Structure 1
Amino acid sequence: MAAAKIDGKAIAEGLQSRIGAAVSELWRKHGIQPGLAVIQVGEDPASEVYVRSKVRSTIEVGMASFQHKLPATTSEVDLLSLIAKLNADPAVHGILVQLPLPSHLKASSVIRAISPEKDVDGFHVSNVGLLSTGQKAIVPCTPLGCLILLRETLESLVGLEAVVVGHSNIVGKPMAQLLLAENCTVTVAHKETRYLPEVCRRADVLVTAVGRPALIQGDWIKPGATVIDVGINRITSGGKRRLVGDVDFEGASKVARAITPVPGGVGPMTIACLLANTVSACCDNVGLARPDGVSF
């Protein structure tokens, strides 16, 4: 039996609908409009696409959008000065600096300059520390989206063996923390892991985020496993460019219980979770309870 396809687009649309309702309620009851500031430095083509999508989605749910597009030559001093102004702006509840940055700018310094309370990407060391110690934190958007997809697909994650392939600060490490919080038994692997196929075959839940097309083959999948493919890889096939994940989708679909497609799986959830984080940050800032169905 073919694996069920996890429809990230539909689940993201449902989340965005709840976010829109929460934004309306904040305005109606409290006169507050959550605001998201997005900073883009340079003209990286992929960043252009992502920023347009984020700005469009922000406006669609009724939030205030503040877009700052800076030249690639922007100095660190000028970038940090802008971040300081946004930290102090009461209309801005979330700040996102689109990565990657030009080579002369140090991402860690830029992320550290963002107020942890407005760090809706969840990359600041304060939020990383809170997450790793099981406290309330702003959670990185992509891992949060993966967790929501798993919760929608599985009745419970308790006691399941989970394998995360990829140990980045953006996806792999926070994903492992979230799965631990769900009482999974978690293994973090990566492309240099010895006997990686055998490690993957143990997984009831397999999350991949390594950026290598079709690294995970169908016979690496445990029968009945749930597979979350975070990879976004652009390849040329038959003279045409297309997106594929880290998992051989066709092969894995013959073995897994459920699997996310690429595109249409994790990607839409990342933006929806960014909006959810902004609403949560807004509520925390003004001392209101985070809305049900939006906070995780």
Structure 2
Amino acid sequence: MDQPLILDGLRVAEDIKRKVKEKVAGLKEKGIVPCLATILVGDDPSSATYVRMKGNACRKLGIESIRIHLPKETTTEELLATIHELNDRDDVHGILLQHPVPSHIDERKAFEAIHIDKDVDGVTSLGYGQSAFGFGLYPSCTPAAILSIMDYYQLPIAGKHAVVIGRSPILGKPVSQLLLNRNATVTICHSYTQNLEHHVKQADIVVAAVGKPRFVQGDWIKPGAVILDAGYNKGNIGDVDYDACVAKSGAITPVPGGVGPVTIATLVKHTVEAAERKATLQAQ
């Protein structure tokens, strides 16, 4: 078998950001500065790192970044009030509520409070529904990143059998819908799936989004399969046992340097698109 293709997310992200930078320059010529507001509740170190990375990505591309850090004691009502304030701000084009929030907060209610025009991370049920129907403005960023990687490397989707391991509302479920909309045959697996190994062995495309380090084993992989590892666990470890799976794969994303950088690039891309859309609507 040929050597597997290593799907370099950093390379894909740079391509996205190059195009974003051109759009930002065009907006600034019109006096518009795209702006992403991020909300972090509590002091989870991983979440703080993610928010900082997203803010840095914005700054490097000339996008305004507003960082709101609320104490872990924040109530659902207080968080909702913050989101509503950002919804009402004309200078804010995208809102990101960093997941997870402290357990006493109704996270779903908070996500639903984000206005659809500013839901650049694709977390609302309306945004999910629109994406599932194929006309959503901003699909969930990690699922969109997975498809961007496949498109960049011209990996075929139509007619392929994709197995998605995981069914979260911001990853497993939406990526399944996006693949289905691209004419893949999709099997969704989860913690209750029996004979998981059997299902994975049938897959031309494997999306690992289960949140367990090195969960997907090498002997589960169909020779030549495309593996997209959307997991990120402590110690920079993905959901795929990379060393065991790489030899059997046709193409595979590493961790780190795979899906993660493209997810962040997709977030800033969606924010700029939101700014462009608002400018177009205001000009009408």
TM-score (norm 1): 0.91
Alignment of 1:250-265 (within 5 A): 250-265=243-258
Alignment of 1:164-183 (within 5 A): 164-183=164-183
Which string of whole-angstrom CA distances, capped at 9 and with x for unpartnered residues, describes residues 230-275 of structure 1? Answer: 11122xxxxxxx2211111111111111100111111111110100
Residue identity matched to 2:272: V
1:218 maps to what in 2? 218
Which secondary structure does the structure 2 equivalent of 1:206 belong to?
strand
Structure 1 position 128, deviation (Å): 1.0
How many pairs align?
A: 280
Structure 1 position 184, deviation (Å): 0.7
Answer whether contact 1:8 1:260 (CA < 8 A) is retained.
Answer: yes
Structure 1 position 99, deviation (Å): 1.3
Which string of whole-angstrom CA distances, capped at 9 and with x for unpartnered residues, describes residues 68-101 of structure 1? Answer: 1111112222221111111011100001111111
Unmatched runs of 5 consecutive residues or more in structure 1: 235-241, 289-296
Answer whether contact 2:35 2:94 (CA < 8 A) is retained.
Answer: yes
Which secondary structure does the structure 2 equivalent of 1:65 belong to?
strand
CA distance in 1, matches of 2:247, 2:67: 44
Structure 1 position 136, deviation (Å): 2.9
Answer whether contact 1:2 1:255 (CA < 8 A) is retained.
Answer: no
Give yes or no for the alignment of 1:127 onto 2:120: no
CA distance in 1, matches of 2:263, 2:82: 25
CA distance in 1, matches of 2:182, 2:189: 19
Residue identity matched to 1:6: L
1:118 maps to what in 2? 118
Answer whether contact 1:86 1:95 (CA < 8 A) is retained.
Answer: yes
1:270 maps to what in 2? 263
1:14 maps to what in 2? 15
Answer whether contact 1:232 1:244 (CA < 8 A) is retained.
Answer: yes
Quote the RMSD (CA, aligned, Å): 1.2
Which secondary structure does the structure 2 equivalent of 1:287 belong to?
helix
Answer whether contact 2:120 2:274 (CA < 8 A) is retained.
Answer: yes
Query: Cα–Cα, structure 1 residues 101 and 24, in superposed 2: closer, same or farther, change >3 Å?
Result: same
Which string of whole-angstrom CA distances, capped at 9 and with x for unpartnered residues, describes residues 116-143 of structure 1? Answer: 1101110111111111222233100000
Structure 1 position 153, deviation (Å): 2.4
Structure 1 position 155, deviation (Å): 4.3
Which secondary structure does the structure 2 equivalent of 1:69 belong to?
strand
Answer whether contact 2:75 2:105 (CA < 8 A) is retained.
Answer: yes
CA distance in 1, matches of 2:145, 2:48: 22
Residue identity matched to 1:254: A
Which string of whole-angstrom CA distances, capped at 9 and with x for unpartnered residues, describes residues 11-70 of structure 1? Answer: 111211211111011111x22111100111111110110011011111111111111111
TM-score (norm 2): 0.95
CA distance in 1, matches of 2:110, 2:191: 28
1:27 maps to what in 2? 28
1:146 maps to what in 2? 146
2:53 maps to what in 1? 53
CA distance in 2, matches of 1:225, 1:76: 43
CA distance in 1, matches of 2:213, 2:184: 27
Residue identity matched to 1:143: P
Identity between Structure 1 and Structure 2 (%): 42
Which secondary structure does the structure 2 equivalent of 1:227 belong to?
strand
1:294 maps to what in 2? none
Which secondary structure does the structure 1 equivalent of 2:37 belong to?
strand
CA distance in 2, matches of 1:153, 1:106: 39
Residue identity matched to 1:217: Q
Q: Hey, which bits of structure 1, 4+ residues long, moved more than 6 A?
A: none
1:285 maps to what in 2? 278
1:103 maps to what in 2? 103
1:193 maps to what in 2? 193
1:2 maps to what in 2? 3
CA distance in 2, matches of 1:41, 1:245: 25
